[in-house]
Structure 1
Amino acid sequence: MRGSVSPKLEPFLAQVNEAIANAKAQGIGYTPQATRDGLNNLAGLMADGPDIASVSDVYLPNYETQVRVRIYNPAPDKALPVLLHFHGGGHMCGSIELYDPISRELAKHCQAIVMCIDYRLAPEYLYPQGLNDCQYLLENFAELLDGHQFTDTLYIAGDSAGGAICTSLVANNLDNKAVTIDKQILVYPSVDYTMSFPSCQENGEGFLLEMAKVEWYFEQYFSDDNDNDNDNDKLAIAQKASPLLQNFADNMPPTLVITAGCDPLRDEGCAYAKKLTQHGVSVLHHQFDSMIHAYMLINDLVAEEYQQTFNLIKEFTSK
């Protein structure tokens, strides 16, 4: 069923849809830079995050390339949990800077040391290079926290592609005795690269995130110079990489799943929550029926839902 959007988003969507229609009429295709600029332009609709006592930038230690991590510590005089924050953006957009307000809110509401990583992006860096960056942070984050007090409690959080990263890390580390993820927080997560759920079509146009662009995102993420355009090969890669289609187990961490009713990715987020429940994992699922994908990046327009989201996260991590 197609979602029914909040009236407070209708003027914004009217502008977006007009711009999309004009671009199509002029034959303007997608490019990485234009797509990144478009997402970064949403920063004008984002409220500043709260002041945090300590904010610093570091780099992954002893790694194959320079990958920056920003550390937010709301209470340097206390030992706090650690939260690894993976930003969204279709695996080819987004940054520490764009997500700075969200990282700050996470630090404040969770009373945790938040570490947000500028993982490498497609198409310059193909799957799984960005995911590998996040795996390395997962295994080595403690080395970056010299001078910080922290407990042995670890959370991971991500929206959209960041949710894909979280769920991929969970699936890939089920048997890794060196990694313990205590809770994961997913906001409109991307967990099915096959784009096979009804909401992909039902909400695939008119709600900011268009399925034509999602398909293009995934082509940039998974393609390579030797791509032979074989649809069966592409489907096999998408299936193998999709967190929803990977192994599930009862030792997966308690999970908060937040979905949006007007999001093309709505159904796969719901399916992920359901599958976790079927495997005996503790799940809290909340849907904002009238919200769109990426509503967290336009929080000036949806301030109430934005704060409700962080209230849900605060309640989930405090239990």
Structure 2
Amino acid sequence: MRGIISPKLEDFLTQANNALAEAKRNKVEWTAALIRGNLDKLAAFMSEAPELAFVEDRSLDFEGRELAVRVYSPAPNEPLPVLLHFHGGGHMCGSVELYDPISRQLANTVRCVVICVEYRLAPEHPYPAGIHDCQHALINYKKLLKGVAHNDTVGIMGDSAGGAICTTLSMNSLKNSDIKIDKQILIYPSVDYTMSSPSIQSNGSGFLLEQDKIRWYFQQYFSLKANNNLQTTNESELQVIKQASPLYGPFSNKMPETLIFTAGCDPLRDEGLAYAHALHEAGVKVSHHQFDGLIHAYMLLQDLVKEECQQTYQQIADFMLELT
């Protein structure tokens, strides 16, 4: 079923859809630089970035290079829960800097230590490079917190592609005892690279995140050869992306308690719902909230949907409160 958009987003979507139509008329070709620049423009809709007592860029040594992160704490002398934050962006774009207002809001509202990870991006670094980076940060997060008080509880959070990373790490935790996750928070997560859920079709146009753009993201991420119309993948490619999709992976009651947010006008809506159902069937405690009139990436549009974003932060705070 196609979603019905909130009036708060109508003007924004009209402008976005007009720009998309013009780009198609001019036969503008997608590139990593173009889509990164376009996503970065959404920073204009996140004017609130709370001041915090502690914000510092740090790094871990990993595979002979530095893995950069930014650490946030509202009270660096108070032992708070830790939240690893993996940003969205289709595995191709997004950054610690773009998501800085969100990380600050999380630290401030949830009252936790936030570690936002600058993981590697496709197409320069395709699957599974970004997952390896985030898993290394999760396993070694305490090394990043010298001089920052924290307790021994840790959650993970990601939106969109960041949600794919979270759910992959939760799946990996079933076979790797070094991965400790107390809770996971997923915001409009990407968990099915096969693009087979009904909302991919029903919400696949007119709501900012377009169906053909999703497929193009995944082709870059998995280094797949695109056909001219970006319509299909072949059987061997389908097998690769299905194996990487957390929705088709193992589920167990040993997976962390999970909070999931979905958006009614998001192409990824139904796979988020399916993931919540699969966790529940496996015996995992799951909480789910849907904002019916919102679109994918609504957290990057806070100035337009301030109340809904604040509700999201507050529900995350309530969910994490049990860790204190």
TM-score band (shorter)?
over 0.9
- Aligned twin of 2:92: 92
Alignment of 1:131-142 (within 5 A): 131-142=131-142
Who is 2:198 aligned against?
Answer: 198
| Amino acid of the structure 1 residue aligned with 2:208 | L
Q: Which amino acid aligns with 2:93?
A: C
Give the aligned partner of residue 215 of structure 2: 215
CA distance in 1, matches of 2:207, 2:179: 38
Distance 1:204 1:113, change over 3 A: same
| CA distance, structure 2, for counterparts of residue 125 and residue 180 of structure 1 | 26
Verify: 1:303 aligned to 2:306, yes or no: yes
Match in the other structure for 2:123: 123
Tell me if structure 2 keeps the 8 A contact 1:92–1:221: yes
Task: Find out whether 1:233 has 2:246 as its counterpart.
Answer: no
> Any residues of structure 2 matched to 1:1-319 within 5 Å, and which?
1-223=1-223, 231-319=234-322
Identity %: 56
Pair 1:198–1:310, CA change in 2 (3 A): same
Give the aligned residue type for 1:205.
S
- Code of the residue aligned with 1:129 in structure 2: it is A
Uncovered stretches (5+) of structure 2, i.e. residues with no partner? none
Q: Which runs of 4+ in 1 moved over 3 A?
A: none
Deviation at 1:29, TM superposition (A): 1.8
Query: 2-side partners of 1:149 and 1:87: how far apart?
Result: 24
| Partners of 2:53 and 2:12 in 1: CA distance | 34
Per-residue Cα deviation, 1:125-148 (whole angstroms, up to 9, x for no partner): 010011100011011111111112
Deviation at 1:48, TM superposition (A): 2.4
Q: Which amino acid aligns with 1:195?
A: M
Give 3-state SS (helix, strand or coil) of 2:260's partner.
strand
Give the superposition deviation at 1:200: 0.1
| TM superposition score normalised by structure 1 | 0.97
State how far apart, in whole Å, the 2-side matches of 1:159 and 1:64 are: 28
- Does the 8 A contact of 2:191 with 2:272 survive in 1? yes
Deviation at 1:269, TM superposition (A): 0.2
**1:183-213 deviations in Å (ceiling 9; x for gaps):** 0000000000000000000000000000100
Paired with 1:137 and 1:212, the residues of 2 have a C-alpha distance of: 32
RMSD: 1.5
Residues 61-111 of structure 1 deviation map (CA, whole Å, 9 limit, x = unaligned):
354322210000111111111110000000000000100011011111221
- Displacement after TM superposition at 1:230 (Å): 6.7
**Cα distance in structure 1, aligned partners of 2:177 and 2:68:** 26
Residue pair 2:192, 2:271 contacting (<8 A) in 1 also:
yes
Q: Determine the C-alpha separation between the residues in 2 that align with 1:63 and 1:137.
A: 12
Cα deviation, residue 175, structure 1: 2.6
* Equivalent residue pairs, number: 318
What amino acid is aligned across from residue 126 of structure 1 in structure 2?
P
C-alpha displacement at 1:224, in angstroms? 6.0
After TM superposition, give the deviation of residue 179 of structure 1 in Å: 2.3
Residue 196 of structure 2 aligns to a residue in which SS?
Answer: coil
Write the distance in 2 (CA, Å) between the matches of 1:144 and 1:308.
30
Over 3 Å counting, the alpha-carbon distance change for 1:58 and 1:28 in structure 2 is same
Question: Contact (CA 8 Å) 2:60, 2:67: kept in 1 or not?
Answer: yes
Q: Distance in 2 between matches of 1:309 and 1:272?
A: 19
Residues 56 and 278 of structure 1: CA distance in aligned 2, closer, same or farther (over 3 Å) = same
2:62 & 2:238 partners in 1: Cα distance?
35
Q: Given that residues 61 and 143 in structure 1 are in contact (C-alpha distance below 8 angstroms), is that contact kept between their aligned partners in structure 2?
A: no
For 1:178 and 1:119, the matched residues in 2 are separated by 19
**Contact 1:61-1:144 within 8 A present in 2 as well:** no
CA distance in structure 2 between the aligned counterparts of 1:145 and 1:8, rounded to whole angstroms: 39
Q: Which runs of 5+ in 1 are unaligned?
A: none
